[in-house]
Amino acid sequence: MKIKCSRCHEIISGRSKLETERKFDQHICKGLRDINKLPLELLGQIISNKLTEKEAWEIYDKQNQDIPITK
C-alpha cells in the first residue's frame, strides 16, 4: 500500500495497510514547518479552505512575534 503526502508529495509505502499508516503518522515533511505547532483554530480554517497553509503560518507568526524568547 502507498500513501502520498499532500504537503510534500512524498510517497510512503509499507507491506500492509497498518504498516503504511504507521509510517505515515511518523512522517515529517522535509523543508516544511511542523503543522502540529499551529493552533486548532488555524488548522480548522486550512481544512475548510478559508486559509492556505502559508497564510496560516503568517497569522501564527504575527500573533507570536510579540512574545519575548527567554533562555
| Res 65: pLDDT | 82
Tens digits of per-residue pLDDT, 2-11?
999 999 999 9
Asked if the model's pLDDT at residue 27 lies above 60, the reply is yes
Instruction: Give 26-71 as a 3 state SS string.
Output: HCCCCCCCCHHHCCHHHHHHHHCCCCCHHHHHHHHHHHHCCCCCCC
Please say whether the beta carbons of 59 and 42 come within 8 A.
Answer: yes
Please say whether the beta carbons of 14 and 20 come within 8 A.
Answer: yes
| Res 69: pLDDT | 59
| Res 71: pLDDT | 57
pTM as predicted: 0.71
Grid cell 500573533 is found at 63
Residues 19 and 40: their CA atoms lie apart, in Å, by 27
Tens digits of per-residue pLDDT, 28-59?
999 999 998 999 999 999 999 999 999 999 99
